[in-house]
Amino acid sequence: MSDSEESEMEFQDEPSALGVKVGSTRTVVSGGDVADPDVVRTLTCLATYTDALTGEEHVLYGEEAATEYPDRVRYMLRSGLPESEETTELAKRFLEEFSRANGLDEDSVVVYAIPTIDNDTGLERLTDIIESGPVGERLIRSYPESLCGAVPALGDGLDAIEDTFLAVNMGSTNLEACAYRRGEQLSPFSTGAITGTEVDRRIANYVEEETQGRVNIDLTTAREYKEDHADFEDYEPFSDIIQQPGGGTYEFTIEDSVMDAVDEFVDDAVDEVANVFMPELANDYMKIYQQALDNPVVLTGGMACIPGIVDEFEARLSDELGREVEATTADDPATAAARGAHRIADRLVELDEY
Ligand SMILES: Nc1ncnc2c1ncn2[C@@H]1O[C@H](COP(=O)(O)OP(=O)(O)OP(=O)(O)O)[C@@H](O)[C@H]1O
Ligand SMILES: [Mg+2]
């Protein structure tokens, strides 16, 4: 066999690289060419139904499950991690269906972006789901979600893994903060009190107040209002229509509810980061704290998608700390963790780590 034939064989033998984030709201997978990845995003939910003809049980996942079976759709990672054996099994089933439907390669090196939550049992269950999953026959690794999310925010390569910086992950169920030093996580902090889901709850309450009790929206609608309309740069009031119980429709306009809720979110997040996380970090690693603040704070997680939130966070954090700090985020924070994980997986393939 000539050298070139050999290297071609090796090339064909190379597993594919995949980045996966299984989030409480959405699951995101990034595959294909790292420079121009194929990204798939779906709701992390599942519904089963019985075939009317054969009596067999079928499984639906994602948007289809949520819209067709709102009465019994299950979000198995509601709190960020599986809470029971039952939801662990459901999550495995979800991953199987999702992988099959999207043709994910079993012969792969997979990097999972995982949350930094102080819950060992939950993390063990997540590990079980990942390890028994259909992909990653060659290698499975996990890295913190905020590190993966910072990768696309800090350049075209893997600079995030060489730098020292602070990351703040703003997800559905948790606010996480930590410092990274060459990929090592320092002083990890998380709280379940300041979250995207809490913002949705407040939006629902404020909408009720703003409409003098006439409009009650569910949390899915509140989330959609936030995702479609929250904007710190140029917010536009918007209208919606509900069916009234006695018949007929009622049209209303939302002026303040959405922005009040996200405004409080930023204040709460800045307060927690500046007054709880940072003092702990400074106490543990004074030098790292100083060094990290010379670099931009990287905001990750879906809430970082809100237009203008990075500038707001930067201004309010600078105010709170009494010194100029910068903040930054990736192009599309909602998919950044999966894309960053994909880049790490690709590098592991390149390094023959599998
Ligand atoms: N375009 C958008 N505008 C505003 N908010 C968004 C947008 N996209 C996603 N979000 C919000 O971001 C949150 C989801 O973020 P992310 O996907 O990082 O969470 P997660 O990883 O599932 O949750 P967690 O890490 O807390 O377990 C949700 O509250 C969602 O509504
Ligand atoms: Mg998350």
Is residue 57 over pLDDT 70? yes
Topology (CATH) of 153-329? Nucleotidyltransferase; domain 5 (3.30.420)
With a 6 Å cutoff on the Cβ, whether 227 touches ligand 1 is: yes
Q: What is the whole-number distance in angstroms between the Cα of residue 227 and the centre of ligand 1?
A: 9
With a 6 Å cutoff on the Cβ, whether 149 touches ligand 1 is: no
pLDDT number for residue 11: 53
Nearest-atom number in ligand 1 for the CA of 115 is 25
Measured CA distances, 106 to 68, 83, 137, 239 (Å): 29, 27, 6, 46
Q: What is the whole-number distance in angstroms between the Cα of residue 224 and the centre of ligand 1?
A: 11
Closest ligand to 336 CA? 1
Q: What is the whole-number distance in angstroms between the Cα of residue 174 and the centre of ligand 2?
A: 7
With a 6 Å cutoff on the Cβ, whether 25 touches ligand 1 is: yes
Nearest-atom number in ligand 1 for the CA of 175 is 26
pLDDT tens across 105-159, in order? 999 999 999 998 888 999 999 999 999 999 999 999 999 999 999 999 999 999 9
Burial class (CB in 10 A: 0-12, 13-18, 19+), 34: buried
Domains 3-151+333-350 and 153-329 share a fold: yes
What is the overall mean pLDDT for the chain? 94
Percent of the chain at pLDDT exceeding 70: 97
Is residue 88 over pLDDT 90? yes
pLDDT number for residue 13: 78
Burial class (CB in 10 A: 0-12, 13-18, 19+), 95: buried
265-289 mean pLDDT = 97
pLDDT number for residue 208: 97
pLDDT number for residue 12: 61
Architecture of the CATH domain 3-151+333-350: 2-Layer Sandwich (3.30)
Q: Could you tell me the residue ranges of all domains in the chain?
A: 3-151+333-350, 153-329
